[in-house]
Structure 1
Amino acid sequence: MAAIVEEQKQITQILAHDILQKRVSHAYLFTGADQLQTTALGYWFCQALFCPHAHAGYPCLKCNNCRRIQKGDFPDVSVLQTSKQNLGIDEIRDFKLTLGQTGLENNHRVFLIKGAEKLTLAAENSLLKLLEEPEGDLTIILLAASRSSLLPTVLSRVQIINLPASSDQDLLQRLQQQGYARPDIDLIQKVHLEDQVITDLSANQFSKIKTQVQSWFHLLLDNPLQAFVAVAASILPIIENRSQQEIFWNLLEWYFSQNLSEQTGSTSALMKSRQLGEQFLHAQKLWSANVSFENSLEQLALAADSISKGS
Structure 2
Amino acid sequence: MNTSWEEMEQSQPVVTKMVTNSIVKNRISHAYICFGDYGTPKREFAILLAKSIFCKQRIGVEPCQSCTDCKRIDSGNHPDIHVIIPDGASIKTDQIAHLKKEFNYTGLESNKKVYIIEQADQMTVNAANRLLKFLEEPSQQTTAILLTENSQSIIPTIRSRCQLLAFQPLNQEQLENKLKDAGITEANARILATFSQNFDEAIERSKDTWFAQARKLVVQLVELLQNNKDEVPIFVHTQWMPHFKERKQLQEGLDLLLVLFRDMVHFQIDAKASIVFSHQLDKIEQATMNWSMEDITNDLTLIMEAKRKLEQNVHPQLVIEQLTLQI
Counterpart position of 1:43: 47
- The within-5 A match list for 1:1-311 is 4-9=4-9, 10=13, 11-18=15-22, 20=25, 22=27, 24=29, 26-29=31-34, 38-39=43-44, 41-49=45-53, 59=61, 61=63, 67-68=68-69, 70-72=71-73, 75-79=79-83, 88=88, 93=94, 96-100=97-101, 101-105=103-107, 109-112=113-116, 116=118, 124-125=123-124, 128=128, 132-135=132-135, 136-137=137-138, 138-141=142-145, 153-154=153-154, 159-162=164-167, 164=170, 167-173=175-181, 183-189=187-193, 192-195=194-197, 198=202, 201=205, 202-239=207-244, 241-259=246-264, 261=267, 269=290, 271=292, 274-275=294-295, 277-288=297-308, 290-291=311-312, 292=314, 293-304=316-327
CA displacement at 1:212 relative to structure 2:
0.8
The SS at the match of 2:104 is coil
RMSD in angstroms over aligned alpha carbons?
4.7
Q: Secondary structure at the match of 2:106?
A: coil
Give 1:288 deviation, angstroms: 2.8
What 5-or-longer segments of structure 2 have no aligned partner?
269-283
**1:140 match: secondary structure:** strand
**Cα distance in 1, alignment partners of residues 144 and 204 from structure 2:** 22
Deviations 1:225-268 (A, max 9, x none): 53244334322322255554343223212332444546999x99
Q: For each residue in 1:186-233, what CA deviation from the matched residue of structure 2 results, as whole angstroms up to 9, or x when unmatched?
A: 4345xx223386388453121111011011112222333532443343
Partners of 2:252 and 2:16 lie apart in 1 by 29
- 269 and 219 in structure 1: CA distance in 2 versus 1, 3 angstrom threshold: closer
Q: In the TM superposition, what is the alpha-carbon distance from 1:139 to its structure 2 partner?
A: 3.4
Question: Matches of 1:287 and 1:152 in 2, distance apart?
Answer: 18
Q: Deviations over 1:240-299 (max 9, x none)?
A: 55554343223212332444546999x99554x633540341331342363445443322
1:127 and 1:200 mapped to 2: Cα distance?
35
Q: Matched residues in 2 for 1:188 and 1:53: separation?
A: 36
Per-residue CA deviation, residues 148-207 of structure 1 (Å, 9 max, x unaligned), is: 5x7962598574553745543323356x5xxx7664334345xx2233863884531211
Secondary structure at 2:82 match in 1: strand
- Provide the TM-score with structure 1 as the length reference: 0.63
Instruction: Name segments (4+ residues, structure 1) moved above 6 Å.
Output: 51-55, 89-92
Aligned residues: 276
Alpha carbons 2:46, 2:116 under 8 Å: kept = yes
Percent sequence identity over matched residues?
14
5+ residue gaps, structure 1, are: 305-311
| TM-score, length of structure 2 as denominator length | 0.61
